[in-house]
A and B are shown apart, each in its own frame.
Chain A
């Protein structure tokens, strides 16, 4: 199987570090692309195919939901997870409408692995 390319977008460096550590432990072959905002994520994936993405919701500039719909246009097969501490029903419904996964923060190994392998 081709190792996955996983895009990790979060304005918190600590969050990106935690997610990367969890991915590296579970699948050392995976390629991780980190971005601290949506614009950076879009430019870093211009010439790369991504299979999986975890997107923070609340970031400066474009938010994670808007980024998700932009990414889905380019990578319709990608598995996308919206990662947020904003666990309001309204936000969950927006994720559902885009058919992407909703992952509540805090980041735990269990939640990330469930998303990656699910």
Chain B
């Protein structure tokens, strides 16, 4: 299985749009400029996926995961290093809170950040790519190594996963993280169909104008 240059280009552009909206949401939540990387699209072997999330197999990361289901399906993740998660909570709450209170609110606050970012991105993709409404589950909060996070997600029988990834970084603090989509093999085919349809529409539009 591979992606043509045009398919790759279309996916990258859609991720740019989706994450653009997500970055706008995040910047509103945190009153800070959010910088985005160039999106990457890769087809990976299951066992290689964890290393793409974090090179250090023991490093603890925070993951907020949401399952989605529409004309294609999969899991979307917001991931960031555990060590700057409290900074993110502080930036979100916009009021002085004790360390105890910050820690108490950490999981709830991060899930809400995840909910907003993942849904902004997902909704944009759904409106462009899916003919039907995409249903998303409630966000799930996880802390662990990249391998532990993925083991809890990718079904063992899946050998190849599609990994879409885009990094973000806040301008005035060292908070950074990224959003990753993981699609399994059956879903990749459906996703490619949707992308092809989108490319066809773009071509028709190009001819008209």
Contacts and interface: CB of A to CB of B under 8 A. Distances in A.
B95 A21 contact: yes
A26 interface: no
Given A85-B25, A87-B119, A88-B133, A14 B109 contact: yes
Contacts of B109: 14
Interface in B108-151: 108-109, 111-112, 115-120, 122-124, 126-127, 133-134, 136, 138
Contacts of A88: 123, 126-127, 133-134
B28 interface: yes
Interface string A1-39: 000000000011111011001000000000000000000
A14 B95 CA distance: 12
A14, A18, A91 pick with most chain B CB within 10 angstroms: A14
A73 interface: no
A60 B92 CA distance: 23
Contact of A60 (B120, B133, B138): B138
B178 to A, nearest CB: 18
Interface residues of A, number: 23
A106 B25 contact: yes
B133 to A, nearest CB: 4
Contact of B116 (A21, A85, A91): A85
A90 B136 CA distance: 13
Nearest to B117: A85
A9 to B, nearest CB: 14
Given A21-B95, A58-B136, A89 B127 contact: yes
Contact of A14 (B28, B93, B124, B134): B93
A59 B118 CA distance: 15
A105 interface: yes
A14 B149 CA distance: 24
Nearest to B118: A85
Nearest to A111: B28
A18, A60, A87 pick with most chain B CB within 10 angstroms: A87
B112 A108 contact: no
Given A58-B115, A58-B138, A106 B123 contact: no
A105 B92 CA distance: 13
B186 interface: no
B104 to A, nearest CB: 9
Interface in A28-84: 58-60, 84
Interface of B: 21, 25-26, 28-29, 92-95, 105, 108-109, 111-112, 115-120, 122-124, 126-127, 133-134, 136, 138
Given A14-B109, A88-B126, 16 more contacts: A14-B93, A14-B105, A14-B112, A21-B95, A58-B115, A58-B138, A60-B138, A85-B25, A85-B116, A86-B119, A87-B119, A87-B123, A91-B123, A91-B133, A106-B28, A107-B29
